[in-house]
Amino acid sequence: MGGVGLLLIQMAKNAGAAVIGTVSTQEKAELALVAGADEVILYSETDFEAEVKHITDGTSVTVVSDSVGKTTFDKSIECLQRFGYMVLYGNASGPVTQFNPATLGPKGSLFLTRPTLFDYTADRKSLEWRSGDVFKWIDEGN
């Protein structure tokens, strides 16, 4: 669990979401729990797709934020419920190079995005708008 993942946990919890974190080590699992994750799965030891479906009673999740990439991508897609969002923001295990976008429809009209910070903060107004909540939460101690 890297810095972005830890920040995402805190932001999602602040917005009222239930959070399932997937990590590669016990040390990262502890960090995710301290950050507020409700459940943590060690994907290096457990089939995280099956565990997510177990935790959610088969309903799966609405959003997956994946920084690992190649080794977790396919299972991450399988964890999404209809109209779910797959946010692929890193490739720690390598880039996803083989993917057929046509599979998103039959899996539930899924959305896939590969965001980059610079697109969301292209001008000063965008930067201030997007960072405003984060700085407000810091100021409030959240």
Read off the pLDDT of residues 31-43 as tens digits, 9 standing for 90 and up: 999 999 999 999 9
pLDDT at 113: 96
Phi/psi for 86 (5° steps) reads: -105, 115
- What does the pLDDT look like over 87-98, one tens digit per residue? 999 999 999 998
* pLDDT (average), residues 100-129: 94
pLDDT at 2: 84
Please state, rounded to an integer, the average pLDDT across all residues of the chain: 94
pLDDT band at 112 (very low <50, low <70, confident <90, very high): very high
* Per-residue pLDDT at 52 exceeds 80: yes
Q: What percent of the chain has pLDDT over 90?
A: 87
Superfamily of domain 3-116: NAD(P)-binding Rossmann-like Domain (3.40.50.720)
- Residue 73: C-alpha distances to residues 3, 5, 13, 77 (Å): 20, 16, 23, 6
User: How are beta strands 80-88 and 39-42 bridged, if at all?
Assistant: unpaired
pLDDT at 5: 92
Query: Per the structure block, which two tokens stand in for 36?
Result: 């507020």
- What does the pLDDT look like over 2-20, one tens digit per residue? 889 999 999 999 999 999 9
Domain spans of the chain? 3-116
